[in-house]
Amino acid sequence: MIGVLFIFISFCAMIQINQINAVVDVDRCTTIAAALGAGTEGPMATHTSDCSSCDFRIAKVPARSWPKGSMRPLYEYRGEYPATVSPNRGETWSPDNLEGTPEQIKGWGNESKITGYIPQVEHTFGLYESGYGIMNEHQVGIGESTCAGKLWAPPTTAGGKAMIEVREMSRIALERSRSAREAVRVMGDLATKYGFYGAGTLSILLKEYIYIFYRYFVSNYIII
């Protein structure tokens, strides 16, 4: 391990609470961050993808150079299988890699629902991702935690104007960033410009430091 230990833990958990003959399913992701000096390998972060029915595949997205004028699609959030269907994000998310009945595969189509497009950069870095971005070739790592949001905006696919949520933000940050600070800036700028829906807290780390990124409503973000 060079400079940073990043632990990504994916597991499926469902808690059933019986109260007045009601059953409540509780899914809550958690990230744990340890600063420099708390361990022997530098800072580290964990992410429990705590979900009862999510797509837990881990994908390797290769580095790639893009033609001038290319646009990057923003995919609508989907937790269950297949979380992402894309011809441009490596073998795992490829429509050719789908498993299911002929009817299911036909229904999933060749690409996930798209909320909008943003200009693509000239070169994107290689990375690992699952439900969220994990780590890129420059050792920028990300963990995600569930959190609440008091204000809510619907995505373009549901009649709203918002185009991006926390999973796509984490993936784009790893595609475009060489440092944790740069990742925070990329995500904040994208969410502010294109509109954010959903809620989530991200731990972003690189070698000597960790940032906690909390996206709390449509036009502001906090960096700690």
Confidence band of 36 (pLDDT split at 50, 70, 90): confident
Average pLDDT over residues 172-177: 97
pLDDT of res. 219: 41
> Pick the residue with more confidence: 52 or 12?
52
pLDDT of res. 47: 74
Does the pLDDT of residue 127 top 80, yes or no?
yes
> Pick the residue with more confidence: 21 or 69?
69
| pLDDT tens string 184-216 | 899 889 988 999 887 666 766 666 666 666 554
> Pick the residue with more confidence: 45 or 223?
45
Q: For the whole model, what pTM was predicted?
A: 0.80
Does the pLDDT of residue 108 top 60, yes or no?
yes
> Pick the residue with more confidence: 155 or 216?
155
pLDDT of res. 201: 66
Confidence band of 17 (pLDDT split at 50, 70, 90): very low
pLDDT of res. 101: 97
Domain borders along the chain are 15-223
One-letter-per-residue 3-state SS of the chain: CCCCCCCCECCCCCEEEEECCEEEEECCCEEEEECCCCCCCCCEEEEECCCCCCCCCCEEECCEECCCCCEEEEECCCCCCCCCCCCCCCCCCCHHHCCCCHHHHHHHCCCCCEEEEEECCCEECCEEECCCEEEECCCCEEEEECCCCCCCCCEHHHCCCECECHHHHHHHHHHHCCCHHHHHHHHHHHHHHHCECCCEEEEEEECCEEEEEEEEECCEEEEC
pLDDT of res. 184: 87
pLDDT of res. 151: 65
Does the pLDDT of residue 218 top 70, yes or no?
no
